[in-house]
Structure 1
């Protein structure tokens, strides 16, 4: 072992200097030299940096594809994480898949993760290369389609996996179908991809609950719509006697009850067996620019003045005095954020719901006036933006 030449090789690889790499190797440097205590071999270093020419030279000099030292990345995994499809192609051509360690994550699972963490054409190309080469998950890992859904992967990733043979009704290791997993996450895009590819809309989880039942419980209306459009059975009954409609009634999901075909709905106290937990926050923080706070205040005043306090309370279920006081706070109590360029106001949920009710009356109700400088379309957009946010 020539320690001096090994150091020359490490420096040359780090610099991407192919001529210096060739000289060090010719002088006796070890092609499996360590690039650092936790960085793996020089081959892994070159692969992770996307230096395909250096990778080729090291391989021709006999560099090992397997992980030379414990707890360091293999060259293939380093290339996958780095998003370098040219290097991945080179390594695969030299048999890198067969040389992968049994530890997790596997190169394939890592590639799926990278499509979410570092999305771009290179990560998709890398994933395609691995699938075409026959890459498989580790023995303790979930199937690729399940891994992708768990990571909220883009629909294009799911389609690529399906194109390469992933079963559309793939199940997690506990026998939960992919469509149910996507439903529980509220991932309507993933649900749609699966359904369009032929997934069973009535597939049941180990408890006998269908995806529609889970979507209803979680008030995931876009998922409910996708499942119903795909023909999901509304009369399916779980082993514990639940139906989608019963679950909607038990959670008092009035809009979902209409979606399920009901024409008369209320707030009845229906006893059900729940599989979901719903958080009920008591306060929140609103962040934005001062003009947006003034717009919310104006919307409350306009809706209250147009409806009158008795009709406001009857239509919205909100205390008009709380609404009036909140409108004033929206004008007077907004302060600059301590660590940002926006402004903030802490509000109770009841206060915020008053503002939301006012926006809804202007957007969809009979109130004809809009706040100065805004159109009805602007109010609709703002209302939808608020409704998309958690809580």
Structure 2
């Protein structure tokens, strides 16, 4: 039976003598969790009076107590606790009831759960702990309450690794300040964005970047997907933060992360103003590393002709090797950017250069000509086998 129809049947009729009130149904796992999530006190009481397990596990919300806590249904939370619900039961994507209530900003339920013995530092779920969940969502009063109750400000787990990163990601300066005042480690490592400074730089929160640096954040600290704060800001196109980080001593040529360096990151995402700034500040236009080998290959792959031209004007090596697509000409050919292919060839790109996943530019263009979804792209790529031989590439066999 459909979940809604099942609950309607329960609420509308007396339970049958032999009905299984603990049967697993729908994404919430069981009837008690469904009723708790919806705030249906009548059905919750009916189920409990007929033998429903107050501590069932399973489903999206993990338990009835977590479902009620997430939904903000304090009366049901109180009833479940009075019926001996396990306040620290672990399950579901939010781990436990305290994290669920903290994530949703239900301060009264957070207080109730703590009064009933909830572990303020319990680990688990998407956000690792209640403090990180509240910090991510921007609920300062709950963050303060959890800290007052002994929450570990540097606990490391969950999507954002720690509360400081979570608050920095959300742009909540007041919470960042509160956590730092409670001795949060400003350089703590972890998570896909590495550390709080990288998170704030990626998000474009200059006030938080300033605060973190004032509190001793290492401007050149490595870690995370973007390697460092400068690369994160460059990837996102936050020119003001890029300038600020450089003024604070960020190394313009430091390497690491998915894109190898800040210049490649900005070239990949098409932020010409950031590319120009980095080059003006001494970025090595030919530095190697990252997914696409160098900045020229990254810009060629993405089709940013103006950035390709800028890099070439700054003496980028048109035949530089590296990355999964070997060199800029192969990258542009693979993506069907005929104008960039022509520009690179005019600047001396070796039409027969070997390397990368497809061996050479002609193979890259030919391999992908039948795999693109739009007619315009398909026509552009189909032109490559005619453009490239004009510059000396061998004709492919019929």
TM-score by length of 1: 0.49
With CA pairs under 8 Å and 6+ residues apart, which has the higher RCO, 1 or 2?
A: 1
